[in-house]
Amino acid sequence: MRHLLSVDDLGAEGIEEVCRLADHFTEVSQRPIPKVPALRGKTVAMMFCEDSTRTRLSFEMAARRLSADVMGFSVSSSSVNKGESIRDTVDTLSAMGPDAIVVRHRSAGVPQQTAAWTDASVINAGDGWHEHPTQALLDCYTIRQRLGTAAGRRILIVGDVKHSRVARSCVTAFTALGAKVTLAAPPTLLPPAVETWPVDVSFSLDAVLGDCDVVYGLRMQSERQAEALVPSLREYTAQWGLTAARADHLPPGALVMHPGPVNRGVEIASEVLDGPNATLVEQVRHGVAVRMAVLYLLLGADSGQIPPGETP
Ligand code: NCD
């Protein structure tokens, strides 16, 4: 595999392979010196043209723990602000010879386009409403750590599915692993042609809450909404928020997941976020090991430095 543009590039086997490698890199991350030489001499360039906290920091941390060099790039301090095109930006980064470029952009398709313009491996770190494959991978890994397997699990994805690249990648990944996915959202927040997705749909959260192993909340993505799709955030929370009262109806042990950043009290109540079944902090922690696995697969798997499954 040269690029990671979509969860489809991996399939179920690839997802399992990433999870197996992530087990190994989790162990590495727990060492007093959490670093291995697997990608020494390689350079990973970050091309983040949209805001990010956890994804960007997590990729940087992952690259450094593999001993790669990191080349930072953020739009607010770059020549993109002077009107430079994406093509010229990619050519400029590529001219410096990075081995991988991690791309986030507000438009769907930019990572694919970047892959056509560069010799580097390209990793999609979120493109518009389209995909966010490493988020889905770290979510699969979190479910595997907590529940053993995603196969046969009932996963409820709640909220702004329409604008969510996370939901698109997660539906693909979860169903590839054999989970049963239900989307719960008002019709205005569902994507067009949702009937072609391999999911069930519910227009009532209360109707499906008692019957799931995982409830996965999505952020209300107001910055991607061109019109008012819900009457008000207060009304949204009343119908679709995972309030403490609703959380009481979840089956015991059901996980509460969210990709972050979370609007506390809007999609999930604070006390639920801070409860024992919420996995938000674990998701972030696993993100580093999972991204180490992805970088290793793309850039280092043939280096022979860390045979998968063996402790170096
Ligand atoms: C998400 C994103 O940017 O796609 N966050 C993330 O990467 N963890 C989700 C969001 O913006 O709501």
Over residues 31-58, the pLDDT tens digits come to: 999 999 999 999 999 999 998 889 999 9
Specify whether the CB–CB gap between 220 and 194 falls below 8 A. Answer: no
More confident residue, 56 or 232: 56
Tokens 């009343």 correspond to 238
- CATH topology for 7-132+284-299 is Rossmann fold (3.40.50)
pLDDT at site 227? 67
Q: How far is the CA of 132 from the centre of ligand 1 (A)?
A: 8
Beta pairing partners, 156: 182, 215
Lowest mean pLDDT across 59-73, 107-121, 149-163, 222-236: 222-236
Instruction: Return the ligand 1 atom nearest residue 166 CA.
Output: 4
Q: Helices H, strands E: what count in the chain?
A: 11, 9
Does position 78 have pLDDT exceeding 80, yes or no? no
Q: How far is the CA of 259 from the centre of ligand 1 (A)?
A: 6
Determine the 3-state secondary structure of 269 from DSSP.
Answer: coil
Q: How far is the CA of 181 from the centre of ligand 1 (A)?
A: 20
Instruction: Return the ligand 1 atom nearest residue 126 CA.
Output: 4
Specify whether the CB–CB gap between 97 and 104 falls below 8 A. Answer: no
More confident residue, 312 or 58: 58
Does position 95 have pLDDT exceeding 60, yes or no? yes
Q: How far is the CA of 260 from the centre of ligand 1 (A)?
A: 6
Specify whether the CB–CB gap between 58 and 292 falls below 8 A. Answer: no
What is 219-254 written as a DSSP string? Answer: ---GGG-SS--SS-HHHHHHHH-B-HHHHTTSPTT-
DSSP E strands: which ranges in 119-218?
121-127, 154-158, 180-184, 200-202, 214-217
Chain centre to alpha carbon of residue 121: 18
What is 209-221 written as a DSSP string? Answer: TTS-SEEEE----
Domains 7-132+284-299 and 133-283 share a fold: yes
CA angle 10, 12, 14 (to 5 degrees): 40
Q: How far is the CA of 21 from the centre of ligand 1 (A)?
A: 24
Domain locations in the chain?
Answer: 7-132+284-299, 133-283
Radius of gyration from C-alpha coordinates of the chain: 19
Q: Which CATH class is domain 133-283?
A: alpha beta
Average pLDDT across the chain, whole number? 93
CA distance 113 to 3: 12
Specify whether the CB–CB gap between 268 and 209 falls below 8 A. Answer: no
Band (pLDDT 50/70/90 cuts) for residue 309 is very low
Instruction: Return the ligand 1 atom nearest residue 260 CA.
Output: 8
Atom 12 of ligand 1, residue of closest alpha carbon: 219
Positive or negative, the Cα torsion across 46, 51, 55, 58?
positive
Q: State which of 131, 137, 166, 285 you would mutate to test the pocket of ligand 1, scoring each by most atoms of that ligand within 8 A of its C-beta.
A: 166
Pocket lining for ligand 1, CB < 6 angstroms = 54-55, 126, 132, 135, 165-166, 219, 221, 259-260
Positive or negative, the Cα torsion across 104, 16, 181, 267?
negative
Average pLDDT, integer, range 184-195: 96
